[in-house]
Amino acid sequence: MTKTKTKGIDASIVYDYKEFPDAQGGVCDNCGTKHFQSTVKDYKFIRVCRNCGLTKSI
């Protein structure tokens, strides 16, 4: 089992994209992967990293 190196960003919080935009477009700020799961909840687009769970409301 490999451990993913993260930058220590709290993945339990849903961040607002306007306040916390991507450092590099389409790449997770916490772990650096490009794999996301997207859903729509309460008319908001929610993006969750499949690797570390970092969530942003876009």
Per the structure block, which two tokens stand in for 12? Answer: 């339990």
Range of the domain at 48: 14-57
Flag whether 4 is in a domain.
Answer: no
The answer to whether the beta carbons of residues 54 and 9 sit under 8 Å apart is yes
Q: Mean pLDDT per 10-residue run, the chain (58 residues)?
A: 69 92 92 94 93 93
Flag whether 7 is in a domain.
Answer: no
Flag whether 46 is in a domain.
Answer: yes
Contacts of residues 37-42 at CB distance under 8 Å and 24 or more positions apart, as own/partner, are: none
Residue 1: per-residue pLDDT: 42
How many domains, in total, are found in the chain?
1
Q: Could you give the angle at the alpha carbon of 47 between the alpha carbons of 43 and 49, nearest 5°?
A: 160
Flag whether 33 is in a domain.
Answer: yes
Flag whether 18 is in a domain.
Answer: yes
Flag whether 8 is in a domain.
Answer: no
Flag whether 47 is in a domain.
Answer: yes
Instruction: Enter the pTM of the model.
Output: 0.82
